Structure formats: C-alpha cells, structure tokens
Chains A and B, each alone.
Chain A
Amino acid sequence: MDVKEQEFSRMVREHKSTIYTVCYMFSNDADEVSDLFQETLINLWKGFESFRNESKLSTWIYRVAMNTCISADRKKRRQGSKVPLSMNINLYDDEDHETRQVRQLHERIQRLDLIDRALVMMWLEGMSYEEIADVVGISVKNVGVKLIRIKEKLKQK
C-alpha cells in the first residue's frame, strides 16, 4: 500500500461514521446503504488527489457523500458487480432500544426532500452555517432561511 492509499484508508476509517450516516439517511434499505457507501468511497478516492485543504476535510467528505447520494437517488439501480464494503450493522431490523431511537430519527428525516435532508443532517452534526453553505453551494443567509423552513416542516409532521 503506497503513502496515498495509506492516507486514504486512515481518512476513511476516521470518517466512516459520517459517510455511513449520510448514506443511511438517504436510503430505506440496508443493501442500498451498502451500495451508496461504496459509491461514496469511490468518489472520495477519485477526488482525494485533487483535495487541497481549501475547505475542512470533514466538509469535503460531507459534500462528496451528499452529492453521491443525491445523484444515486434518481437512478436507484445497481451498476456492475459490487464488492461489499459496508459495515456489519443492521439499523433496519435490530430491535434494541438504541436502534429504535436511530430509526425514529431516520423516519423523521426521510419525510424531507433530498436537499432538506442534507441540510438538517449537517445542522444536527453541529456544522456552522458557513460550512453548510460551502457544502451545498448556497449563501449563508439562504442556509438560515432554509433551516427555519425545515424546522417548520418537521414541527408540522
């Protein structure tokens, strides 16, 4: 394994929960989460060399994961042979208390449309409005407005 690959593997290990969280919130099926997770890793690898620390690593990872999930949402089909690269966790079927809590969050977020899901996830993550604006490519003011609307939507449902 060369230096670049070692760095990449370390980055994936450190941020695997961020990547998996985004994939989980954009899907309703464990196999699909696994596919999205793998697709995100491929896209991270493709962009890894050109990442120049202009933004925070976590912000960049969020952006790649969200773009991958939003793109995949319309396609909803499997492409070519895939190797399982996911994690040995089942957040859809397990019935322990913690998993039920996580599923409740999943259900709430799933009611929102794609961009709103992305915004609320970053807000829950505790990211600043500047960072959220950087990931999505909209103004900081627009982030604030959208988040207020999302909170209203969540209250209504």
Chain B
Amino acid sequence: MEEMNFDEMREQFTLLRHKLDQQDIINDSLLRETMRGRVGAINRTKYKSYICAAFSLALYPLLLYWGVFSNAFVIATCIMMLFCAYGTYYVHKPVDRMNLMTEDLATVAKVMAKFRKQYNQWLYYVTHALLIPWLSWAVYEYAWKNAPEGMNHWLMALPLLIGAAIGGLIGYIWHCKAVNAADNIIRQIEENN
C-alpha cells in the first residue's frame, strides 16, 4: 500500500516535469542583462579594494618626500603593506576560487571553517607582531624624533593615535563581517544536515 504511495509520487513528479517542459521562459532576452549586472556589482567591490591598497602604497613615499618619516620607516611600511596584502590574498584564495553555489555543501563547510580559522589567526598575529610595533615606531618618528622643539609630544601623537584607532575599528568591523559571513554559511549547512 505504501509502495503505491511512492509510485504515485513518481507519477506526480513525471507529470510536473512534463507540464514544465511544455512551458517557455518569460523574458529570456533579459537573462543576460540581469546576470551581467549582478556579476558586475561583485567585481566592483573587488576593484575598490585594489584601489585602496594602491592609494596606501603611494601615500607613504609621499610622506618620505615631505620629510615626516625616515627612509627606514617608509620602506618598512611599504614592505609591511605588501606582506599584509599578500597574506590577505592567501587567506581569501580558497574562498575566491570556490563558487558557493556550485560546490557541494560538505566542501563549502570545510573551506569556510578553514577560512574562519586562518582569518582569525591572521588578525591575531598581524596585530601583535606587526601593527603594534609599527604604530609605536610611527608615533616615535612623528611625535618625538621629528617633532619641532617645545612641542608637547603626546599632543602631537594624539591625531595619529586617533587615526589608528578609527582605522583599526574599521578594519576590525570588516574582519568581523567576513568571519560572521563564514559562520552563517557553516551554521546553515550544519543545521540543514
């Protein structure tokens, strides 16, 4: 009796496929346009990130020209930025290569879990090993070493520290958004399995 039930389901399924096969897609000509628009929006976000990185790399040699920082500091900063850019690219690479919608769910969950772990480690090590020493060095160069005589060092350092705090906060928000997105995908797959 129950097997009849499944046979009936198969028949209904065949019926549905048959009904749909007879249909035409409405607005087929708009298909390409819509898809191009969506893919274009994703690419624009990527290009914005590249422009930000290029702008930062151009700014520091300019500061060297103005004599605000020493040669050693500017060179170290440029090397650090290139290193950070490569690190970010390396952590993102498996996610960029993977198409969330075309991979199977197990692979997506595995790649996302690895990304989340590496991304958190990357933030931890970059903050402790690079950003804190770099900011201390920048404050020293700007507010002590090259400061005009009679100026209050801490008052000079204040804008730099506020800028660093704002930059750090924005970076941390971006980081959290990426980690949350990965978390949501993993949670969704786990819930559905």
- Residues of chain A whose beta carbon lies under 8 Å from any beta carbon of chain B: 1, 5, 9, 12-13, 16-18, 20-21, 24, 38, 41-43, 45-47, 50-51, 60, 63-64, 67-68, 70-71, 74, 82-89, 91, 98-99, 101-102, 104-105, 108, 113-115, 121, 124-125, 134-138, 151, 154-155
B 90-115 binary contact with A (CB < 8 Å = 1; else 0) = 00000000011111111110000000
* A138 and B192 within 8 A (CB): no
Residue pair A12, B31 in contact (C-beta under 8 Å): yes
Complex A-B, nearest 4 residue pairs according to Cβ-Cβ distance, in ascending order = A137-B104, A137-B106, A17-B20, A47-B102
Show 17 residue pairs from A and B whose CB-CB distance is below 8 angstroms, ordered by the A residue.
Answer: A20-B20, A21-B13, A46-B99, A47-B99, A47-B101, A63-B104, A67-B103, A85-B26, A86-B25, A87-B24, A88-B24, A105-B13, A115-B192, A124-B9, A135-B104, A137-B108, A138-B106
Q: In the assembled complex, how far is the CB of residue B119 from the closest CB belonging to chain A, in whole angstroms?
A: 21
Main DSSP-derived SS at the A contact region: helix
- Which residue of B is nearest A37, CB measured? B25
Secondary structure dominating the interface of B:
helix
Given known A-B contacts A42-B35, A151-B6, A64 and B101 have beta carbons under 8 A apart: yes
A4 to chain B, nearest CB (A): 10
B192 close to A83 (CB less than 8 A): no
Q: List B contacts of A104 (CB < 8 A).
A: 12
Q: Provide the bound-state CA to CA distance between A2 and B46, in Å.
A: 25
Docked complex: B1-47 residues within 8 A CB-CB of A: 2, 5-6, 9-13, 15-17, 19-21, 23-28, 30-35, 38-39
B 103-131 contacts with A by CB, 8 A: 103-108
Nearest chain-B residue to A24 (Cβ)? B16
Query: Does A12 lie within 8 Å of B25, measured CB to CB?
Result: yes
Question: A155–B5 contact, CB under 8 A?
Answer: yes
B136 at the A interface (CB under 8 A): no
In the complex, given contacts A89-B19, A102-B19, A137-B105, what are 16 additional A-B residue pairs having Cβ atoms less than 8 angstroms apart?
A9-B31, A13-B25, A16-B21, A17-B21, A21-B16, A21-B17, A42-B35, A47-B102, A63-B102, A63-B103, A67-B108, A82-B34, A85-B25, A85-B30, A87-B26, A124-B13
